[in-house]
Amino acid sequence: MENKPLISIALCTYNGSDFLAEQLDSILSQSIQDWELVIVDDFSQDETLRILNSYSERDKRIKIHRNHQNLGYNKNFEKALKLCEGEFIAICDQDDIWHEDKLKLQLDAIRNHLLVYHDSEFMDESGNSMGAKISDKFAFYSGDKPEVFLYFNCVSGHSIFMKRTLLAHALPFPERFHYDQWLAYIATSHGSIDFVDKCLVRYRQHKKNNTDMLALRTSARSTKQKITELERESEWLKICAEKASEKSAELINKLYKLSLHRNASFMSIAYGQAIWKDRKYLLRLLKKSGSSKFFFTLRKIWGPLAKTFL
């Protein structure tokens, strides 16, 4: 029987021909070479498949799967992760560039943790540094408190290196929510996470990004959008409450119920009080002053009716 690879790299592609070759070259240049590259193409209509085939013909570790219809971002990564055979899994985007020691440093760091992540440097569409990194936006977290990931997320999908055993708890991904925040939440519910305090990926920002971390495309939100965000927040808290471990179940259930009360009224001071009381972890990732955290909490108390005036 053929030995399974130590590390599986899960790469999802969709119309990624502009930057794909650079990413593949950076994977091939890794200082650790005991890996398989599992690629699931989500029915691309550009030159992506031709590029993938040209690389797989040169390296048998590259395994290509193609969807016959578009599954979307979350479902496609879910499929890719299920196909991985390695003891460890690294998640990969199609348009970034990896540091040559990314896999080595994360393998060294994971130890007894379920997941490790790292910092990343932002670059523009042309590959030029934007003079910023993810840790400029968020405080990084190491530990086992899932409530840290209820309102914020510092764990970007492209930075995730995890034990395959995490999938048993994390799949399927909840619909309409970011899979990386979910993996961070589940990993801290069933174990712990850590990070490598180094930029191991050059993270490309362009108009096709699934996430807009630098708010390059952000515009003013309508009242309807603000109300929808309240509903989505409660839905997220409900999903988290259903999967909550014993150590955090009481708090998360309380926050979920208070958010529903907020959604059904003009405001809920009790919801804000609950967040503020546990701000040590609930606001842990918010890289802001104490006063900024207070005003963030204050904004959380207003219900749909209030949003029509704010």
Judge contact between 170 and 91, C-beta under 8 A: no
176 sits in the region (left: phi over 0; alpha: psi -120 to 50; else beta) called left
CA 221 to chain centre: 23
User: pLDDT tens-digit profile of 186-203?
Assistant: 999 999 999 999 999 999
- Side chain identity, residue 215: A
Q: What is the pLDDT of residues 3-48, one digit of tens each?
A: 889 999 999 999 999 999 999 999 999 999 999 999 999 999 999 9
**Dist. CA 300–CA 305, nearest whole Å:** 13
- What is the CA 301 to chain-centroid distance, rounded? 26
DSSP symbol at 3 = P
Domains of the chain by start residue, with CATH: 7-204 (3.90.550.10), 223-307 (no CATH)
- With 0-12 CB in 10 A as exposed, 13-18 as middle and 19+ as buried, what is 310? exposed
Residue-wise pLDDT tens digits, 256-269: 999 999 999 999 99
In this prediction, residue 211 carries a pLDDT of 61
pTM, entire model: 0.93
Q: What is the pLDDT along the chain (310 residues), one digit of tens a residue?
A: 468 899 999 999 999 999 999 999 999 999 999 999 999 999 999 999 999 999 999 999 999 999 999 999 999 999 999 999 999 999 999 999 999 999 999 999 999 999 999 999 999 999 999 999 999 999 999 999 999 999 999 999 999 999 999 999 999 999 999 999 999 999 999 999 999 999 999 999 976 655 645 555 456 668 788 888 999 999 999 999 999 999 899 999 999 999 999 999 999 999 999 999 999 999 999 999 999 999 999 999 999 888 776 5
Report the distance separating Cα 301 and Cα 273, nearest Å.
9
For 254, the enclosing helix (H) or strand (E) is helix 249-263
Question: What integer pLDDT is reported at residue 208 of this predicted model?
Answer: 62
Q: CA quadruple 299, 302, 256, 171: dihedral positive or negative?
A: negative
